[in-house]
């Protein structure tokens, strides 16, 4: 569903993302894990066509991001780290506006808005002004706008950032349920979130992929001294340390 080959993004002399390659299969929840500044959000923006790649290729749902960006956007639901909401709008009107932008047929918009409102637990908030919502409910509105049009691919960038523990649990539960119908690429630096939600993990550091494998294989791998890593945290630290040693 997502195929990336040699993807690179340069800002002047700085390579924010360097020659990364990976695949995400249909129905997977894949965690895109890395420290702050590792290149996660930059990669997400390239995959959604928000910014162009410097070189390399990205395919989403069978379409080339560089040459067929509109076809890609029709098939991707994107929740960026900073959710793009219009605070002065009522929730239902905002979602109807997003449905219009996404070319949902006029006669189907009301039903589509009702579907995502129910899916994201916004029934009691649909007639409220967005700026009056809590952080958790604003995040739910952001997730609802990503689901408009029922895209096969969801790209979620730090979906639980800034939420309280109860809100985090609720959003994680929703994401897990979404994987029944969508392929999910989940960017985060929260290790427990990846362990609870993801089938497979891609670890990125300093713009390069340091490791990628299933949760089970990453945790079972041996460290440099022959010790069993045992946890995702151990695997993450080992992968990051190995990448930094290569850099040095």
Q: Whole-angstrom Cα distance, residue 182 to residue 17?
A: 26
Fold held by 22-52+152-248: Rossmann fold (3.40.50)
Q: Quick check: 168 and 137 in contact, CB under 8 A?
A: no
Please determine, for residue 205, whether its predicted confidence score (pLDDT) is greater than 70.
yes
Flag the least confident range among 62-66, 134-138, 151-155. Answer: 134-138
Q: Give the mean model confidence (pLDDT) for residues 215-229.
A: 61
Q: Give the mean model confidence (pLDDT) for residues 219-228.
A: 55
Better pLDDT: 164 or 18: 18
Q: Give the mean model confidence (pLDDT) for residues 79-84.
A: 87
What pLDDT is recorded for position 37? 85
pLDDT in tens, 34-50: 888 889 999 999 999 99
Residue burial 36-55, b: 16+ Cβ < 10 Å; e: rest: eebbbbbbbbbbbbeeebee
Q: Whole-angstrom Cα distance, residue 208 to residue 215?
A: 19
Better pLDDT: 230 or 78: 78
Q: Where are the domains of the chain?
A: 22-52+152-248, 82-150
Mean pLDDT over the full length of the chain: 88
Give the bridge partners for 76, in sequence order. Answer: 153
């Amino acid at each position: 569903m997502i195929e990336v080959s040699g993807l690179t993004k340069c800002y002047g002399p700085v390579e924010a993302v360097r020659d990364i390659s990976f695949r995400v299969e249909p129905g997977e929840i894949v965690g895109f894990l890395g420290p702050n500044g590792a290149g996660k959000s930059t990669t997400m923006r390239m995959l959604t066509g928000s910014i162009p790649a410097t070189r390399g290729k990205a395919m989403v749902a069978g379409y080339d991001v560089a040459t067929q960006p509109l076809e890609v956007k029709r098939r991707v639901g994107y929740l960026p780290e900073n959710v793009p909401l219009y605070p002065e709008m009522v929730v239902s009107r905002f979602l109807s506006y997003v449905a219009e932008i996404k070319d949902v047929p006029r006669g189907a918009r009301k039903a589509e808005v009702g579907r995502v409102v129910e899916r994201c637990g916004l029934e009691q908030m649909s007639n409220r002004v967005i700026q009056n919502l809590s952080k958790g409910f604003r995040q739910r509105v952001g997730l609802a706008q990503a689901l408009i049009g029922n895209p096969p691919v969801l790209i979620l960038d730090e979906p639980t950032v800034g939420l309280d523990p109860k809100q985090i649990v609720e959003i994680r539960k929703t994401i897990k349920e979404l994987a029944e119908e969508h392929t999910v690429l989940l960017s985060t630096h929260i290790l427990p979130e990846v362990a609870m939600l993801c089938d497979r993990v891609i670890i990125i550091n300093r713009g390069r992929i340091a490791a990628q494998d299933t949760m089970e294989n990453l945790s079972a791998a041996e460290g440099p001294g022959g010790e069993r890593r045992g946890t995702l945290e151990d695997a993450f630290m080992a992968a990051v340390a190995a990448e930094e040693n290569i850099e040095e």
